[in-house]
Amino acid sequence: MMNRRYPEPSATETDTDIAIVGGGLSGTLTACLLGRAGYRVTLIDRHRVFPQEFRVEQIGREEIEKLEQLQLLTPLFKVAAPFDDIVNLHRGRILDRTHGQHYGFFYNRLMGAMRAALPETVNFVVGQVTGLRTSAKQQRISILGKDELTARLLVLATGMGDMLHRDLGISHKSIGERRSLAFGFNIRPLQSNRFRHTALSYHGDGNGIDRLDLFPVADATRANLFLFRDPRDSWVRSLHDNPKQALIATFPSLVDHFGDFEIASRIDSWLTEITLAENCRQDGVVLIGDAYLTSSPATGLGVSRLLTDVERLCRTYVPQWMTETAIDHTRIAAYYDDPEKADMDIGSVQMADRHFNLTAKTDVGWRLRRQFHFTRRRILYGIESISPALAAKLHQLKTIRTRSALRSAVLNSKPVA
Ligand SMILES: Cc1cc2nc3c(=O)[nH]c(=O)nc-3n(C[C@H](O)[C@H](O)[C@H](O)COP(=O)(O)OP(=O)(O)OC[C@H]3O[C@@H](n4cnc5c(N)ncnc54)[C@H](O)[C@@H]3O)c2cc1C
């Protein structure tokens, strides 16, 4: 057992310091960090073992760096497959290549490894939370078939679409028109025992289809397909009826570039709406991860966003709150208004807008932007083959320009072009 490192306030006696409801990625990482810091933490989830549900299945450099800073990388290594070269295709031709560390995994296996790494200061309770009563000094958590639990702070990490928040008058507001569909399935090579590339991303062509990502996970090749289309649309139906044919028809020369394949698993699908929690600045309770704001899967920002939540909460706010006898809504509000968190939150919504517009908008303005986007990438790739140093400089310049465009869009709260 670690020593408690924070001053002991003369607080109301509670069963635990911090109760975390939801043992997905955000809740488990939070429990890990707070447990390591010596707090008495209770993590509650309705599943002992995380079920085979479709969520994030690959992460890149930014998320890896954040996990490393939080010393949370080791569990990932146990279940994930590394890859560092992605061939990007558009209209049947190579667009460019992405170099950089990535990991592919199944979410449920990652959750298993993360939960196995929880320190002994964390008490893991399997149960469905059915009721919440909160105040500045004490939180009461009702768990089906178990005794009520009391805590000084309640962290809600219940993911998207949970009804529990209603007990506290918290609702979820849908932001804009960006409902996106994601599909996940395994593929296996035909006529050979391996594919031509380790990973490939095939970009759509303004037809509402954002991207097909093919990448290794521990013992398979995984496909993630992201689109902005109605689930009742005829193309979506054709994907369900004859997935291989639908993919070959939509992504020309896919087989030439990657190799012939067959679908080797069931096809998971998920319709995501971007929702933001409202009325959450309340005494004694804080929302993190998807419970606060969902992300469009195509942007790949869900994990980066939740890691920012976890880092800001555990490193800055919980240590301050735990020195107080009461955690009222003004203290809680400081977390939601944290500049780094707010930048990340607004930036992820702006990025979802951009993905939607670039993928699905058909007016002349967006057609031209799409054309410009892919032409610029092709030219940069051409330059890279002649002068890698010059291409690296241009890439750097582009990253700085994108970041500052995003930053000014965040500050002015208007869409990023
Ligand atoms: C299809 C899909 C693809 C995605 N792809 C990407 C991607 O490529 N890149 C990226 O960065 N992000 C991606 N995301 C987003 C990313 O997966 C999520 O942001 C992240 O998994 C959210 O984690 P979480 O812990 O907040 O929620 P979850 O992982 O959903 O965890 C919520 C937990 O709360 C528990 N729970 C809920 N209610 C209760 C209750 N009443 N009592 C007890 N337990 C409860 C649930 O059992 C669950 O374990 C994707 C999301 C989806 C849906």
Q: Tell me: the pLDDT tens digits for 134-163?
A: 999 999 999 999 999 999 999 999 999 778
Query: What is the pLDDT at residue 268?
Result: 96
* 157-202: pLDDT as tens digits: 999 977 899 899 999 998 866 689 999 999 999 988 899 999 999 9
Distances, alpha carbon 36 to alpha carbons 1, 49, 119, 385, in Å = 9, 22, 6, 47
Read off the pLDDT band of 411 (50, 70, 90): very low
Query: What is the pLDDT at residue 417?
Result: 31
* 275-296: pLDDT as tens digits: 999 999 999 999 999 999 999 9
Q: What percent of the chain has pLDDT over 70?
A: 91
Question: Which residue has a Cα nearest atom 29 of ligand 1?
Answer: 24
Find out whether 238 and 246 touch, Cβ atoms under 8 Å. yes
d(C-alpha 276, C-alpha 176), whole Å: 11
Is the pLDDT score of 388 beyond 80? no
Look at the alpha carbons of 139, 127, 107, 33 in this order and tell me if their dihedral is positive or negative.
positive
Read off the pLDDT band of 387 (50, 70, 90): confident
Query: What is the pLDDT at residue 386?
Result: 80
Answer yes or no: is the C-beta of 295 below 6 A from any ligand 1 atom.
yes
Is the pLDDT score of 410 beyond 50? no
Ligand 1: residue of 20, 33, 55, 226 to mutate (most ligand atoms within 8 A of CB) is 55
Distances, alpha carbon 348 to alpha carbons 155, 167, 295, 345, 416, in Å = 22, 28, 7, 5, 11
* Atom of ligand 1 minimally distant from the CA of 57: 8
* 295-324: pLDDT as tens digits: 999 999 999 999 999 999 999 999 999 999
291 CA to middle of ligand 1, Å?
8
Task: Tell me which of 2 and 224 has the higher pLDDT.
Answer: 224
Query: What is the pLDDT at residue 3?
Result: 44
Q: Cα-flanking dihedrals φ and ψ of residue 228, to 5°?
A: -115, 80
Read off the pLDDT band of 407 (50, 70, 90): low
Distances, alpha carbon 41 to alpha carbons 7, 11, 147, in Å = 17, 16, 17
pTM for this predicted structure: 0.92
Answer yes or no: is the C-beta of 272 below 6 A from any ligand 1 atom.
yes
Answer yes or no: is the C-beta of 157 below 6 A from any ligand 1 atom.
yes
Answer yes or no: is the C-beta of 54 below 6 A from any ligand 1 atom.
yes
Query: What is the pLDDT at residue 399?
Result: 62
Question: Which residue has a Cα nearest atom 41 of ligand 1?
Answer: 129
Mean pLDDT of 28-39: 98
**Chain Cα centroid distance, residue 187:** 23
| Mean of per-residue pLDDT scores for the chain | 91
25 CA to middle of ligand 1, Å?
7
116 CA to middle of ligand 1, Å?
18
Q: Of 242, 77, 51, whose CA–CA distance to 159 is shortest?
A: 51
**Chain Cα centroid distance, residue 148:** 31
Ligand 1: residue of 21, 26, 56, 271 to mutate (most ligand atoms within 8 A of CB) is 56
* 87-100: pLDDT as tens digits: 999 999 999 999 99
Query: Which residue in the block uniquely carries the two structure tokens 């975390």?
Result: 20
Query: What is the pLDDT at residue 393?
Result: 73
Find out whether 127 and 44 touch, Cβ atoms under 8 Å. yes
Question: Which residue has a Cα nearest atom 19 of ligand 1?
Answer: 302
Ligand 1: residue of 59, 215, 268, 290 to mutate (most ligand atoms within 8 A of CB) is 290
Tokens of 351: 């990025």
Look at the alpha carbons of 100, 101, 106, 108 in this order and tell me if their dihedral is positive or negative.
negative
Question: Which residue has a Cα nearest atom 45 of ligand 1?
Answer: 22
d(C-alpha 3, C-alpha 1), whole Å: 7
Query: Which residue in the block uniquely carries the two structure tokens 């309340």?
Result: 282
265 CA to middle of ligand 1, Å?
21
Answer yes or no: is the C-beta of 347 below 6 A from any ligand 1 atom.
no
Question: Which residue has a Cα nearest atom 5 of ligand 1?
Answer: 56
Answer yes or no: is the C-beta of 275 below 6 A from any ligand 1 atom.
no
Q: Of 219, 32, 226, whose CA–CA distance to 113 is shortest?
A: 32
Ligand 1: residue of 158, 274, 276 to mutate (most ligand atoms within 8 A of CB) is 158
The single-letter DSSP state of residue 175 is -
* Atom of ligand 1 minimally distant from the CA of 268: 1
Answer yes or no: is the C-beta of 303 below 6 A from any ligand 1 atom.
yes
* Atom of ligand 1 minimally distant from the CA of 164: 41
Tokens of 256: 């030439």
